[in-house]
Structure 1
Amino acid sequence: MRYDRDHPHYRWIVLTNTTLGVLLSVLVVMFGRLGDLFGRVRIYNLGFSVFAVSAVALSIDPFHGGSGALWIIVWRVVQGIGGAMLMANSSAILTDAFPARQRGTALGINMVAAVWSYRSLHEVGVRTAGRVDWAGTLTFGLGVTALLTGITYGIQPYGGHPTGWLSPWVLGAVLAGVLLLVAFCVVEATVPDPMFQLTLFRDRVFGLGNFADLMAAIGRGGLQFMLIICLQGIWLPLHGYDYESTPLWAGIYLLPLTVGFLAAGPLAGWLSDRYGPRTFTTGGAVLTGLTFLALLLIPVDFNYWVFALVVLLNGIGSGLFVSPNTATIMSSVPAAQRGAASGMRGTLFNGGNALSLGIFFSLMVVGLAATLPAALNDGLQAQGVSAGAAGEVASLPPVASLFAAFLGFNPIRELLGPTGELDRPGVNAEVLTGQEFFPNLITGPFHTGLVMVFVTAAVMMFLAAVASWFGGDDYVRDEAEELRAVAAP
């Protein structure tokens, strides 16, 4: 991976990792509404087929370089369409199928039942009459796409700046996205069959539940990327792992995060069915926020077991929050609008994740840009690199180093190699490309960026906790009466 200012290769990484998120954010409301109109199970099963085919295609990329990247992006688009069909209708199907006091449990174990659901699901919800709201679909889709694309490209350097937030293209995309979403609200307030009933947000439980979900998605979304870069760029090399092997080991060392989430999710759903969701959504958000602050208290070259305990608690906090929050949102809406409501929840969740990546990477890059260039310039010259080459490498955007580490490349070799300095007499190439030079160099600047990132994430989680607390426990509608009204001629 050689960095090129005019065509940075990490742009492909950004695109392949955000395409799915953007599509999920854009399409879930539309597919949720289609599920309300034509059957949720039908749309869900179609989505399962599309998602499965695209997953197979992604595993057999026959090309290399730019062509291989385009193959991945195209199939990620297809996968995003299938994923949107699944996400838009899964929560609505479970809400239809289970009584109110069992939904937390059902939603908590939802993640392990995909294949069974494809073979066994039958339609139990009531379809509603109406037409597809194409004006709302178009303004919403274009608005979310423009907004999230602009935010994603905000991490790309522009001119002499480390980020792209001063780029007219980025600012124009964000502004256009906001204006289109305002137009979407106007359309939804005037058309006879809107894609989404905006009046649902007037309901305290639905509105605060979705706000909490959005804040939690922003808080948690960029966490794993930050921790992976910390492991791959600093901790694993310092502990003897080759850069090429760090992507695998970073995933292994982050398993406590996944274990905590998977263990807490079903249990929190089951308990929330019996004791109400507020304690678990609020407590889970607070616990997750506290673990973000705890990550700042341990050194970058940490004791692994302390780190594992903190990320385990982070996963538990996230698991405590998610399934009770989903049950609260889905049980607060009329039965006839569950598909669209599930889609809106999915949009806020996936949009929050995409926002999180853009926001957190921008904060990290700003933090690194304040101190990394000087540290890199001095460190390179101390090992014999000429002042000109050291200054050239130090002036490269910090995001180049981050993505080199993320992809399992030796950052110094990738940044300094094109200059020819590693082969020049008097340059200590062995030290420069060794396991300790780059991690020791970036530790201080990286921690400065982590402070900005994790404090912001903690604030997001505490806002989610406040919204969850005021959302309350009284969220179950009289759905039997609603269903009779919908089914009545």
Structure 2
Amino acid sequence: MEYKWVVLTNTTLGVIMSSINMYIVLISLPTIFRGLNINPFLPGEFDYLLWVLMGYSIVLASVLVTFGRISDLYGRTRLYTLGFIIFTIASILLSVIPSGSGNLGALLLIVFRMIQAVGGGFLMVNSTALLTDAFPPGERGKALGLNQTAFIIGSFLGIILGGLLSNYDWHLLFLVNVPFAVAGALWSVFKLRRVSSSGIKVKIDYWGNVTLAAGLVLISLGFTYALMPYGNSEMGWLNPYVVLSFIVGVIMLVAFIPIELRQEAPLFNLSLFKVRPFTYGIMALFLSSLARGALMFLLTIWLQGIYLPLHGFSYAETPFWAGIYMLSMLIGMVIMAPIGGALTDKYGARIVATVGMIIIAASLYLLTLLPYNFNLTSFELILFLNGLGNGLFSSPNTTSIMNALHPKDRGAGNGMRQTFSNVGSTISMAMFFSIAMSIFSQYVPVRIHEMALSYGLPADIASSLSKIPASSLLFAAFLGIDPASVLPSTLTANLPASIMKVLDSSTFLPNVLGSPFMMGLRISLYISIVLVVIGAVLSYMRGGRYVYEEAKGKEEAYTA
């Protein structure tokens, strides 16, 4: 086997493992939280959901550039293999968390997921760099397109395995990753080339590492805690610790720039931003992540908490079927990702990636036209169109960015690419969740009061129901939990069976959430459309085809 195919095979294992892990956790969160015995209506429990969802991304956002630079200096293959090992250890630790351990189990889940993110970080920054090193410029688009396809195949497997294994034991959800991790580690040890050190001692940029990591962590923490209730507010934007996190985080990131300019061996070579395809590709990627980072989360709530219960699915089975209903998006990506990569090799990324973003914007607009109880065929076609657009943008944009990098900067450059993507997704989650919660807190109490009266419930019961925190209802909807089964006992203790039957119906909560949810979703989608259109303009501004190997020696090649 040619070495380039060895690298593609090995990185494919890592990508499949990562995507299985991502989707199996997303789809199986209801099973995991039920296994831990977490009640979403108890005070403070919502925090655990946010940390499980965002803790992994916070770690990735803070370490990717550092890991990329370390890999450039000390060997990508060595640290890529280390990523598999760390990921395996964390997966085994996750699989032994005791059932019924409640909040302690949730804390262990969050900590072990963060350790898993460290392993994932080493894999992410090095896999794309290893592929770029192994494939010649004219074949990189195809290779990265195939790698993207592997990610989507892993997503399919994650959804299916999550649905199947949830019926047996939630611990198995984490053990699924272990065979892929072990195989990937052994394959990389015996087959991937170790590039020998040049023998030149390079000083580690400690201050650059500290300021960048601290800045990204503080800003990510600010966005995370802004989603948690504070005082009498459903959101925490006025929490002094949130404000302080943003202020100190921004100061750290601003300080990072002059520190890097004075370093002999900087963490990140800021001269990379002189390369037009790199800069505009990064900016387009950031806006794309900002626009669609929370889309999967919002679609999951829409399906699990509203559409599927209205159509007779029990709350216990909605997570699995929500994943099945979103497969059309992944199918669109599977079809278009390798095509987009091949077109990039032939024509360059400029037109291909830009058209992809335009298609994404069109699909987001079509989603705004749907009611909360939508026509399924229309919904699936729109998701399929969105998948086509994402497939057409992703691999060409990645190829364009990586082609613009000197080989010695590919780890750090790819780390910066992944960091912008993760930070964009984190901000997206906070931004769109804030919009949803603002709409929920304003309209859900009124809506639930009106719905309760329309169902014939007494006025005092309707008033009590309207005081249930909107975040708890949203938590229950996302986790696919029957809200009547976890309502406070002080509210349900003396209710007659007829009233409990109404609260336990498959239409009560979905009809309560439907209209307020669509108001928040449409506002979020309109903002996303604007961001994607701006991203499309930036994508086009990247200029024509640019490959470092072909540009070196010319004026436009940056000074190494």
Regarding TM over 0.5, the answer is yes
Q: Give the aligned residue type for 1:478.
A: E
Shifted more, 28-37 versus 387-396: the winner is: 387-396
Q: Give the aligned residue type for 1:10.
A: F
Aligned to 1:304: 376
Aligned to 1:337: 409
Q: Give the aligned residue type for 2:87.
A: F
Shifted more, 238-247 versus 416-425: the winner is: 416-425
Matches within 5 A, 1:15-414: 15-63=51-99, 64-111=101-148, 112=150, 118=188, 120-123=191-194, 130-383=202-455, 385=457, 387-388=459-460, 390-414=462-486
Aligned to 1:439: 510
Aligned to 2:13: none
Deviation string, structure 1 residues 73-113 (Cα, Å, up to 9, x no partner): 12111111101111111111111111112111111122539
CA distance in 2 between partners of 1:2 and 1:384 (Å): 28
Q: Is the Cα contact below 8 Å between 1:287 and 1:317 reproduced in 2?
A: yes
CA distance in 1 between partners of 2:89 and 2:326 (Å): 29
Shift of 1:125: 9.3
Q: Is the Cα contact below 8 Å between 2:41 and 2:472 reproduced in 1?
A: no
CA distance in 1 between partners of 2:361 and 2:267 (Å): 34
Q: Is the Cα contact below 8 Å between 1:156 and 1:164 reproduced in 2?
A: yes
Change (3 A) 1:3 1:76: closer
SS of the residue 1:420 aligns to: helix
Query: What 5-or-longer segments of structure 1 have no aligned partner?
Result: 483-489
Shifted more, 259-268 versus 100-109: the winner is: 259-268
CA distance in 2 between partners of 1:301 and 1:429 (Å): 24
Change (3 A) 1:352 1:299: same
Shifted more, 178-187 versus 128-137: the winner is: 128-137
Q: Is the Cα contact below 8 Å between 2:347 and 2:545 reproduced in 1?
A: no
Q: Give the aligned residue type for 1:75.
A: F
2:45 aligned with 1:9: yes
Deviation string, structure 1 residues 387-421 (Cα, Å, up to 9, x no partner): 4554344234322111111111123543x443333
Q: Is the Cα contact below 8 Å between 2:65 and 2:268 reproduced in 1?
A: yes
CA distance in 1 between partners of 2:123 and 2:453 (Å): 54
Aligned to 1:419: 490
CA distance in 1 between partners of 2:370 and 2:493 (Å): 35
Shifted more, 130-139 versus 378-387: the winner is: 378-387
Deviation string, structure 1 residues 96-137 (Cα, Å, up to 9, x no partner): 111112111111122539856635322469867522211111
Query: What 5-or-longer segments of structure 2 have no aligned partner?
Result: 1-37, 152-179, 554-560
CA distance in 1 between partners of 2:485 and 2:281 (Å): 48
Shifted more, 108-117 versus 392-401: the winner is: 108-117
CA distance in 1 between partners of 2:470 and 2:358 (Å): 32
Deviation string, structure 1 residues 139-177 (Cα, Å, up to 9, x no partner): 111110110111011111222222111211111111111
Deviation string, structure 1 residues 51-90 (Cα, Å, up to 9, x no partner): 1332233234224211211221121111111011111111
CA distance in 1 between partners of 2:529 and 2:331 (Å): 21
CA distance in 2 between partners of 1:310 and 1:165 (Å): 34
CA distance in 1 between partners of 2:290 and 2:409 (Å): 26
Q: Give the aligned residue type for 1:452.
A: I
Q: Is the Cα contact below 8 Å between 1:163 and 1:365 reproduced in 2?
A: yes
Q: Is the Cα contact below 8 Å between 1:383 and 1:427 reproduced in 2?
A: no
CA distance in 2 between partners of 1:341 and 1:50 (Å): 23
CA distance in 2 between partners of 1:327 and 1:96 (Å): 12
Shifted more, 54-63 versus 203-212: the winner is: 54-63
Change (3 A) 1:49 1:106: same
Shifted more, 110-119 versus 364-373: the winner is: 110-119
Shift of 1:426: 8.2
2:526 aligned with 1:455: yes
Q: Is the Cα contact below 8 Å between 2:236 and 2:242 reproduced in 1?
A: yes
CA distance in 1 between partners of 2:496 and 2:337 (Å): 58
What count of residue pairs does the alignment treat as equivalent? 480
Shifted more, 389-398 versus 206-215: the winner is: 389-398
Identity %, equivalent residues = 37
Change (3 A) 1:124 1:100: farther
Change (3 A) 1:471 1:387: same
Q: Is the Cα contact below 8 Å between 2:74 and 2:197 reproduced in 1?
A: no
CA distance in 1 between partners of 2:206 and 2:241 (Å): 27
Change (3 A) 1:170 1:310: same
Change (3 A) 1:158 1:361: same
Q: Is the Cα contact below 8 Å between 2:40 and 2:475 reproduced in 1?
A: no
